[in-house]
Amino acid sequence: MTDIDARAAMHLSDASVSVELETQGMTLNIGPQHPSTHGVLRLVAKVEGERVMSVQPVIGYMHRGYEKLTEVRTYAQITALVNRIDWVSGFANEIPWIRAVEKLMEIEVPERAQWIRLILTEMTRISSHLLFMSSYPLELGAATPLMYALREREYVMDLIEGLTGGRFHPNFNRVGGVKPAAGGGSTQKKVSQDLPAGFFQGTREAMDRIDSVMDELDELVTGNEMVRARTIGVGVIPPEKAIEFGLSGPNARASGIDFDLRRDGEPYLPYDQVDFDVITEQTGDSFARYLVRKEEIRQAVRIVRQGIDNIKPGPLQAKVPRVLKVPKGQTYVRTENPKGEMGFYLISEGGRIPYRVKIRSASFCNLSILSWILEGALVPDLVAIMGSLDFVLGDVDR
């Protein structure tokens, strides 16, 4: 470039400065401590005014090293760990893990234990989705649905606590079945080998309550003009993008992907004996994701009711050796968790401790779409989209 050119360029740049106001982009650091990041997610957002130009999610603030921990824990101890991966649906996390161990050990689980697992998994789904139903309107600015949904969620949590002893971390599954009721020492084995009295009756009542609160929330949230204005057409995920980013669960089904591991996957609980619909929506926007979760609560209520009708007396636990030794081999088990597909890739070299466990968690993959979907969104939409993906940071970081 010659001298003259450089001078001309300088003049040109001067001219452009004087003619148009140049604005400078701003880096907005959202999180790790922020009201709507569901924990410790950090988003480094480049914004111009209200427009988000790019987003870089930063994760790992919750990393607890569970995959490494599994290499120094026995199989029974790991059940307590996997509870804490997605802490709002603790029981559902146990299923793929226990199932993987049982598959390698070739243990046949008694039918009653299978049904109890199914009922509790669906109750966990209800509680997880009710948490979404409460937190999502809050992110849009409505504070009242939070109280309504959490109030009913408490009934489900109470039932889970009454049955398992833990509200969030049931640790209820045993290899070969489920844990008998509390207080069951060797002397009381006969009387305590079943669920606490009144559990099924209480569950039925809780399901009725949840049906009625869903009607209430329909009126308060679903039909609300402003919720629709904030969510319809916001954060649209086309089906091919959903598949590209590995979305699963309600997020994928809201984009029109008719896939549910309860129906389409390798059978893992007696889902083939209950009647339920797989909810899909075609639009793929935030409102569709809201609708899918809302309807899944109703379907879960349906499944729980059928589970209670179908359950028969029987043993809770199969015959399992006192010291759990898993034969050499590897397996991958995936289940439909409230947040999406959860999988455990388990490698055993024999012995009491797994060789390696790889955890595929739903929220991690669902979160991976953030930087694509938030590009060009507005700052308020950032919260609306992030909330609609419904991830839990414990599930992301593990």
Partner 1 sequence: MNFWLELVVKTVLVLILVVLPVALVVIFGELKISAHIQSRIGPYFAGGRFGWAQPLADGAKFIQKEDLIPAGADNPVFRFAPYVVLMGTFATFVVIPFGPDLAAENLDVGIFFLLAVSSLSTLGVLMAGWSSANKYSLIGGLRAAAQLIAYELPLVLAALAVVIQAGTLSLSGIVEAQANMEIFGLGIHLPYVLTGQILSFIIFTIAALAELSRIPFDMPIAESELTMGYLTEYSGLRFTMFFLGEYAAMISLAAVASTLFLGGYYLPGLSGDALKVAGPFILLGKTLILCFVFIWMRWSWPRLREDQLQSLAWKWLIPLALVNIVVISIFKVVL
Summarize as ranges the residues that interact with partner 1 (CB under 8 A): 26, 28-29, 34-36, 49-50, 137-144, 146-148, 151, 220, 224, 226-227, 229-230, 378-383
3-state secondary structure 257-314: CCCCHHHHCCCCCHHHHCCCCCCCCCCCCHHHHHHHHHHHHHHHHHHHHHHHHHCCCC
Phi, psi of 194 (to 5 degrees): -140, -175
| Comparison of 138 and 308: residue with beta carbon closer to partner 1 | 138
| Comparison of 295 and 381: residue with beta carbon closer to partner 1 | 381
Separation of alpha carbons 390 and 293, rounded Å = 10
| Comparison of 120 and 382: residue with beta carbon closer to partner 1 | 382
Q: Are 332 and 345 in contact (CB under 8 A)?
A: yes
| Comparison of 232 and 278: residue with beta carbon closer to partner 1 | 232
Separation of alpha carbons 321 and 292, rounded Å = 43
| Comparison of 28 and 320: residue with beta carbon closer to partner 1 | 28
- The least CB distance from residue 56 to partner 1, in Å, is 16
Separation of alpha carbons 121 and 101, rounded Å = 18
Q: Are 91 and 120 in contact (CB under 8 A)?
A: yes
Distances (CA, A) of 225 to 41, 42, 144: 30, 31, 16
| Comparison of 220 and 347: residue with beta carbon closer to partner 1 | 220
DSSP code of residue 256: T
DSSP 3-state assignment of 58?
strand
- The least CB distance from residue 157 to partner 1, in Å, is 17
- The least CB distance from residue 144 to partner 1, in Å, is 5
**Ramachandran sector of residue 358 (left: φ over 0; alpha: ψ -120 to 50; beta: rest):** beta
- The least CB distance from residue 12 to partner 1, in Å, is 30
- The least CB distance from residue 175 to partner 1, in Å, is 43
**333 pairs with which residues across the strands?**
344
Q: 108 Cβ partners below 8 Å, 6+ apart?
A: 318
Q: 145 Cβ partners below 8 Å, 6+ apart?
A: 133, 134, 137, 138, 217, 220, 221
- The least CB distance from residue 385 to partner 1, in Å, is 12
Separation of alpha carbons 212 and 279, rounded Å = 20
- The least CB distance from residue 379 to partner 1, in Å, is 6
Q: CB 185: neighbour CB atoms within 10 A? A: 7
| Comparison of 137 and 284: residue with beta carbon closer to partner 1 | 137
- The least CB distance from residue 218 to partner 1, in Å, is 14
- The least CB distance from residue 128 to partner 1, in Å, is 20
| Comparison of 225 and 275: residue with beta carbon closer to partner 1 | 225
| Comparison of 141 and 327: residue with beta carbon closer to partner 1 | 141
| Comparison of 134 and 248: residue with beta carbon closer to partner 1 | 134
Sign of the CA dihedral running 263, 180, 79, 386: positive
Produce one character per residue of 205-242: b if its CB has 16 or more CB atoms within 10 Å, e if not: ebbeebeebbeebeebbeebeebeebbeebbbbebeeb
Q: Are 53 and 47 in contact (CB under 8 A)?
A: yes
- The least CB distance from residue 247 to partner 1, in Å, is 23
